[in-house]
Amino acid sequence: MKLLIVESPSKAKTIAKYLGGEYEVRASVGHIRDLPKSNKKAIDIEGGFVPHYEISPGKEKVVQEIKQLAKKADTILLATDPDREGEAIAWHIKEAIDLKKAKRVTFHEITESAIKEAIKHPREIDMNLKEAQEARRVLDRLVGYDLSGIIWKKVRYGLSAGRVQSPALRIVMEREREIRAFIPVTYYVIAGEWKTHGRAKESKTYTLGLECDIQPKEKPEADRIVRLGRAHAWEVTDLESTDVSRSPRAPFTTSTLQQTASSRLGFAPSRTMSIAQKLYEKGLITYMRTDSTTLSNQALGEIATTIEDVFGKNMLEVRTYKTKAKNAQEAHEAVRPTHASTRYAGTTDDEKKLYSLIWERTIASQMKDAKLKRTKVTANIIGSKETIPDFSVTGSIVTFRGWLEADPEARGEDVILPELSIGDPLDLQTLQAIEKQTQPPSRYTEAGLIKELEKRGIGRPSTYASIIGTIEERGYVEKINKALVPTDTGEVVTSFLEDNLGEYISDTFTADMEEKLDKIASGETTYLKTLKDFYGPFLKDVKSKEKLEKATNLGEAPAEIKCPLCGAPMVIKLAKNGKFYSCSRYPDCMGARKLDGSVMEGPKSLGRKCPKCGDGDLMERDGRYGKFIACSNYPKCKYIEQDEEERKKKLTGVSCGWCSDGEMEERRGKFGVFYACTNYPDCKHAIKAKPTGNRCSICNELMMEGTKTIPERCSNKDCPMHNPHKLDSKKK
Kindly list the catalytic residues.
287
* Cβ–Cβ < 8 Å for 350, 322: no
- For residue 21, report the phi and psi dihedrals to the nearest 5 degrees: -100, 10
Tally of CB atoms within 10 A around 556 = 13
Helix (H, G, I), strand (E, B) or coil at 702: strand
The type of residue at 374 is R
**DSSP structure class, residue 6:** E
The type of residue at 625 is Y
Q: What is the secondary structure of 296-361 as a DSSP string?
A: -HHHHHHHHHHHHHHT-GGGB--------STT---SSPPB-BSSTT--S--SSHHHHHHHHHHHHH
Q: What is the secondary structure of 123-166 as a DSSP string?
A: B---HHHHHHHHHHHHHHHHHHHHHHHHHHHHT-TT----TTHH
The type of residue at 441 is P
Closest CA to 151 of 458, 483, 501, 513: 501
* Cβ–Cβ < 8 Å for 464, 269: yes
Taking phi over 0 as left and psi of -120 to 50 as alpha, with beta for the rest, 231 belongs to: alpha
Beta-ladder partners of 50: 44
CA-based torsion, 47, 50, 55, 56: positive or negative? positive
* Cβ–Cβ < 8 Å for 308, 316: yes
Q: What is the secondary structure of 454-502 as a DSSP string?
A: HHHT-S-TTTHHHHHHHHHHTTSEEEETTEEEE-HHHHHHHHHHHHHHG
**DSSP structure class, residue 614:** S
Query: What is Dmax (Cα atoms) for the chain?
Result: 106
347-354, Cβ contacts within 8 angstroms, sequence gap of 24 or more: 347/282, 350/267, 350/271, 350/275, 351/275, 351/278, 351/279, 351/284, 353/265, 354/261, 354/265, 354/267, 354/272, 354/275, 354/276, 354/279
Compute the C-alpha angle 392/396/401, nearest 5°: 170
- For residue 494, report the phi and psi dihedrals to the nearest 5 degrees: -65, -45
Provide the angle, in degrees to the nearest 10, between the axes of the packed helices 165-181 and 464-473: 70
